[in-house]
């Protein structure tokens, strides 16, 4: 990785269960980071041969006939559309067999139906519906397109066939003409507009491939590109992902099945809605301005799990295995001795235990996991990695490079789409380390697991 840059985004939560962002802010962030990269790496920008796109999944961006944004996008962790999901199952008894997943409230299809019911004036003006990274594509290239992997997670697609499901689309109150054309993840879907190429010092006509949702691109980034390969993504949410060579619809436990970014493969996913996002939340609560410094202080303190409270990380409800947007987060076991570092470590422990629940749900479907990688910003913490490996009872492979994730996967798809190999070196373009479960920690987490499960029964 030659250079990297990032820009922050703000989430709005105007009502309970709601989670929204302004799509224009996505594009502003892209322009900001590419301006920065153009200034830092002029020669590398001039040598770019292809662009890959990745982004958060399930978001719903509505545009009018002039491609102006009509309202804030409903995000992947928005929980308002439970009733609409239940209605889709009543209308389509074979819904899961077709799309691969239950219509949980964060998914695109029930959210679109919610908009049709509650904001019909907005739907009346809508002429385009795009996923987050596809809104960026529209701004970058002028083309409205989506890849089949990301699109399969909308629940608007017959997933095995790889095309939009017209009857489900209509049932959600939208028109097929509003949806983008579908391409493969490594298929060229457009080229960078001249105005942006000139601004950033890119060659004229650089191709932009389909790309994928962050989960699928992260799989490519860590090298999970054959059946049985699996990873855990420790980002804002926590994702347990396994690649399959068969379409295995997910009927329960908050699981979902989609197409992989690699043609011919599918993937099963289990999701913990608040992972590193929970750590960011507690950092804000205890006024720790630097999360990296907070984690370093927690690791240096060497606190025992026996001395930390129990935390259930359901700040946004939970998807896997509970499928319940109304679950709430909580601490229990607080004492006068509890300090900020105890709270922060409790959050890390609670997320590890929740990932253990999600991982067990994934394995209960019969998913054959041959190897398990860990990626995402949270993977920088040795303590957190050890907690997760121990909670799962399974070794984890961790890349030394923090860039082995969705952005790297998108770049690899761009390379494949412009004539190169998908994987040209080791899975993470860097050294790998193997972290095994800690027997002593397993005893302590086992005690905490009992308290975690007991408290979960209280907050249901």
Residues with a known catalytic role: 214
Alpha helices (H) along 172-252: 194-200, 214-222
d(CA 176, CA 117): 18
Residue 37 CB contacts under 8 Å (≥ 6 apart), including other chains: 3, 5, 44, 45, 200
Complete DSSP assignment for 102-119: ---TTSHHHHHHHHHHH-
d(CA 259, CA 221): 16
CB distance 9 to 29 below 8 Å? yes
CB distance 173 to 285 below 8 Å? no
- Number of CB atoms found within 10 A of residue 424's CB: 10
d(CA 263, CA 326): 36
d(CA 313, CA 318): 8
User: Nearest-CA neighbor of 21 among 56, 67, 72, 66?
Assistant: 72
Name 312's bridge partners.
330
Quick one: DSSP state of residue 72? P
**Beta strands 238-244; 266-272: pairing state:** antiparallel
Helix (H, G, I), strand (E, B) or coil at 178: helix
Peptide bond into 133 cis (omega under 30): no
**Beta strands 128-130; 188-191: pairing state:** unpaired
- Number of CB atoms found within 10 A of residue 219's CB: 33
């Amino acid at each position: 990785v030659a250079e990297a840059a990032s820009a922050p985004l703000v989430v709005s939560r105007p009502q309970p269960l709601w989670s929204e962002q302004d799509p224009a802010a996505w594009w502003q962030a892209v322009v900001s980071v590419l301006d920065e990269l153009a200034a830092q790496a002029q020669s590398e920008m001039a040598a770019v041969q292809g662009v890959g796109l990745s982004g958060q999944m399930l978001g719903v961006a509505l545009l009018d006939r002039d491609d102006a944004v009509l309202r804030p996008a409903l995000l992947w962790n928005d929980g308002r559309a439970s009733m609409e999901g239940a209605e889709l199952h009543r209308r389509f008894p074979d819904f899961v067999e077709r799309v691969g997943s239950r219509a949980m409230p964060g998914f695109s299809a029930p959210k679109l139906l919610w908009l049709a019911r509650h904001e019909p004036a907005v739907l009346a003006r809508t002429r385009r519906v795009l996923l987050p990274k596809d809104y960026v594509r529209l701004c970058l290239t002028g083309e409205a397109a989506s890849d089949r992997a990301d699109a399969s997670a909308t629940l608007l697609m017959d997933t095995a066939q790889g095309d939009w499901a017209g009857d489900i689309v209509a049932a959600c109150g939208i028109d097929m003409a509003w949806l983008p054309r579908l391409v493969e993840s490594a298929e060229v879907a457009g080229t960078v507009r001249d105005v942006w190429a000139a601004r950033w010092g890119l060659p004229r006509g650089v191709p932009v491939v389909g790309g994928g949702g962050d989960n699928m691109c992260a799989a490519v980034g860590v090298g999970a590109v054959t059946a049985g390969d699996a990873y855990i993504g420790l980002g804002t949410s926590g994702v347990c992902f396994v690649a399959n060579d068969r379409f295995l619809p997910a009927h329960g436990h908050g699981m979902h099945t989609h197409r992989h970014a690699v043609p011919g493969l599918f993937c099963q996913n289990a999701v913990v809605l608040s992972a590193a996002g929970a750590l960011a939340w507690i950092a804000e609560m205890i006024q720790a301005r630097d999360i990296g410094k907070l984690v370093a202080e927690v690791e240096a303190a060497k606190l025992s799990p026996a001395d930390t409270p129990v935390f259930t990380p359901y700040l946004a409800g939970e998807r896997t295995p509970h499928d319940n947007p109304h679950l709430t987060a909580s601490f229990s076991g607080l004492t006068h001795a509890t300090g900020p570092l105890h709270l922060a470590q409790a959050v890390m422990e609670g997320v590890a235990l929740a990932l253990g629940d999600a991982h067990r749900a994934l394995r209960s479907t019969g998913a054959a996991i041959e190897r398990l990688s860990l990626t995402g910003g949270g993977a920088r913490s040795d303590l957190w990695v050890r907690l997760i490996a121990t909670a799962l009872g399974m070794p984890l492979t961790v890349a030394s490079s923090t860039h082995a994730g969705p952005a790297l996967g998108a770049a690899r798809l761009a390379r494949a789409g412009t004539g190169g190999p998908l994987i040209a070196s080791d899975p993470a373009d860097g050294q790998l380390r193997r972290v095994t479960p800690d027997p002593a920690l397993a005893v302590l987490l086992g005690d905490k697991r009992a308290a975690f499960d007991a408290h979960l029964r209280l907050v249901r």
